[in-house]
Amino acid sequence: MIRIQVPATSANLGSGFDSLGIALTLYNQVWMEESDSLSITCKDDVDVPKDKSNLIFWAAKCLYDRCGHTLPGLKIVQLNNIPMARGLGSSSACIVAGILGANRLLGGPLNRQELIDLAAEIEGHPDNTTPAIEGGLAASAMEAGRVYSVSVPVSEKIRFALFIPPFELKTEKARAVLPLQYSRSDAVYNLSRSALMAASLFSGKLENLRVAVQDRIHQPYRAGLIAHLDDVFRMSYELGSLGTYVSGAGPTIISMVKADRAEHFAAQAAARMKKKNIAGWRIETLNTEPDGARIFVE
């Protein structure tokens, strides 16, 4: 049996809509082996589909089909540490686990680039799947079915404080509120800031981050879908956030903080939220995962 470890990912980073993403040190674990039938179980109490609609199985079958092989069944065991529908790449983690596991079981017919392309094809965009595979900070673009990407390390000066709420927000609902067209000024506004974000995270130029997270493409339209968003943003900046943004489609909110102050920031934020009666939110401080998904033989 093989074990696939896939990191959580945070897409957009404010200004980099559908193009920037980072891998974080929070992981799903998936154990997989070929079988004559389909068996899906969990090592936790997360309710996942146990039939062929399971996203890990479905992604694995996509790879088998792509390579001209029949997949009679799989034994899949899941440990789901990435919260679902919270803007932390839970669906991408399933897709990546499925195709990486299937590729290993078949002896590696697809190379790394082909796996990145297939993952983005299944997901529909590369901003979560690419950093899940490559690790670090990934800038991605799709052209004619191919993902063109660069993954770079994030400065060790920076950690990420996650504000994970007790409610879900489906990506479909979050995308439905976005306009079909944007002005040229809004496009230029985001383009300049997304380029600044990538360069600043890599170089550790911390003073740029508060400007780099600013966005006119998605966050203003999604703000009304996330309860207490204004409270969390305001509080995070009062406590010294370098830059705060909605992770992916939301509802998780992430603050970039100085590494040597991360735990203090989280403790202060938890105290503030308790005082404001903002209940049920979980705060975690994470590093960037530099290597992406990995496979272990057990």
Rounded mean pLDDT, 22-42: 97
pTM value > 0.75:
yes
Rounded mean pLDDT, 133-155: 96
**% residues pLDDT > 70 (the chain):** 100
Number of domains in the chain: 2
- 206 and 126 in a single domain? The answer is no
Q: Is 16 in contact with 194 (CB distance < 8 Å)?
A: yes
H or E segment and range at residue 264: helix 262-275
- 144 and 191 in a single domain? The answer is no
For the domain that residue 106 is a member of, what is the CATH number? 3.30.230.10
For the domain that residue 170 is a member of, what is the CATH number? 3.30.70.890
pLDDT higher than 90, residue 86: yes
- 143 and 165 in a single domain? The answer is no
Query: What pLDDT score was predicted for residue 298?
Result: 84
- 247 and 107 in a single domain? The answer is no
How does residue 21 score in pLDDT terms, banded at 50, 70 and 90? very high
Rounded mean pLDDT, 204-220: 97
What are the tens digits of pLDDT across the range 217-234?
Answer: 999 999 999 999 999 999
Query: What pLDDT score was predicted for residue 219?
Result: 96
What are the tens digits of pLDDT across the range 39-62?
Answer: 999 999 999 999 999 999 999 999
pLDDT higher than 90, residue 109: yes
- 31 and 143 in a single domain? The answer is yes
DSSP secondary structure letters along 272-292: HHHHTT--S-EEEEEPBPSS-
- 228 and 83 in a single domain? The answer is no
- 125 and 65 in a single domain? The answer is yes
pLDDT higher than 90, residue 254: yes
pLDDT higher than 90, residue 204: yes
User: Long-range contacts made by residues 264-267, C-beta under 8 angstroms, separation at least 24?
Assistant: 265/161, 265/239, 265/240, 265/241, 266/161
Mean pLDDT of all residues belonging to the chain: 96
- 145 and 193 in a single domain? The answer is no
- 141 and 166 in a single domain? The answer is no
The SS3 call for residue 49 is coil
Query: What pLDDT score was predicted for residue 107?
Result: 97
Rounded mean pLDDT, 144-167: 96
- Domain enclosing residue 177, as ranges: 158-286
- 166 and 130 in a single domain? The answer is no
Query: What pLDDT score was predicted for residue 30?
Result: 98
* 135 closest CA partner among 5, 281, 264: 5
- 293 and 149 in a single domain? The answer is yes
- 141 and 276 in a single domain? The answer is no
Rounded mean pLDDT, 63-90: 96
